[in-house]
Amino acid sequence: MKKNKKTGSNFSNFAKLVEIMEKLRGPDGCPWDKAQKREDLKTYLLEETYEVLDAIEEKSDEKLKEELGDLLLQIVFHAQISKEEKKFDIEDVCKEINEKLIRRHPHVFSNTEAKTPEVVLKNWEKIKKGEKRGKSALEGVPKTLPALLKSYRLQEKAGRVGFDWEETKQVEKKVKEELKELKEAMNKGIKQKIREELGDLLFAIVNLSRFLKIDPEDALQSANEKFIRRFKTIEKKARIKGKELHGMTLAEMDTLWEEAKNDERKEK
């Protein structure tokens, strides 16, 4: 193994991380780390993933570096548990992803041609389907994905095999149809039907976002942040007037909301 220039150690920093995890789980290791089972770590894996996303959103390289390290720790932790169970280790994990990347990028590692991202994705799906012959084109979408992202991924996969709308106008029409059906269900007052039609409308809106090439998760997150920002502004404006929101009428609050929107426009 090559000597690490930064530390002078005979271990790479990655190998050192694996070594530390082995020690933490070893006989003389940390009681907490030794007690953890794979199921116990699920929450931490999810939290660290979201913290990475927060760092990306904040455009903080320093925070991203830290959070990627925390996420990598979770991967090494899971691999160490599997090593102890004599199933696989981190080397096997790396070997498998290396082989998959080479196999699914023949335009880089072989003589296949793919000059656009769209062609790359189509080829990727063909190769993937060949690897999983007989399985659905929708395979590979995690069951535990948040519903919004799951809709997006399902539609992407269906689209790659040709099951898709041809143009944005068709999707717009579908959104209007689903909204109409939701209104009809609301008029009938049948809860289960309302729930079903609301789901169909959300699914159609995700489809529209895909055609507009806008990530629905990012769009909704942006709307959430905008709401938080404006709501805090109206709270501040209310306090300046010596009032609290719970003591104001909806009309009064709406006036402050419009002021908050105008303030933002002026800042832009």
- Distance CA(172)–CA(211), nearest Å, equals 10
Mean of pLDDT values over 33-44? 94
| Band (10; pLDDT cuts 50, 70, 90) | low
Residue 11 has a pLDDT of 61
Residue 7 has pLDDT above 50, yes or no: no
**Quick one: CATH architecture of 146-214?**
Orthogonal Bundle (1.10)
Provide the pLDDT for residue 245: 92
Higher pLDDT, 55 or 8: 55
What average pLDDT does this structure show over 189-201? 96
22 pLDDT more than 50: yes
Per-residue model confidence (pLDDT) at position 5: 52
Q: How confident is the model at residue 2 (pLDDT cuts 50, 70, 90)?
A: very low
Furthest CA-CA distance within the chain: 73
* CA–CA distance, 204 with 223 (Å, rounded to integer): 18
pLDDT above 90 for 84: yes
Give the count of alpha carbons within 13 A of 91, CB side only. Answer: 4
CATH 1.10.1530.10 fits 13-100, yes or no: no
Measured at the CA of 116, the angle between CA 114 and CA 120, to 5 degrees, comes to 55
Measured between alpha carbons, how far is 46 from 140 in angstroms, rounded to an integer? 18
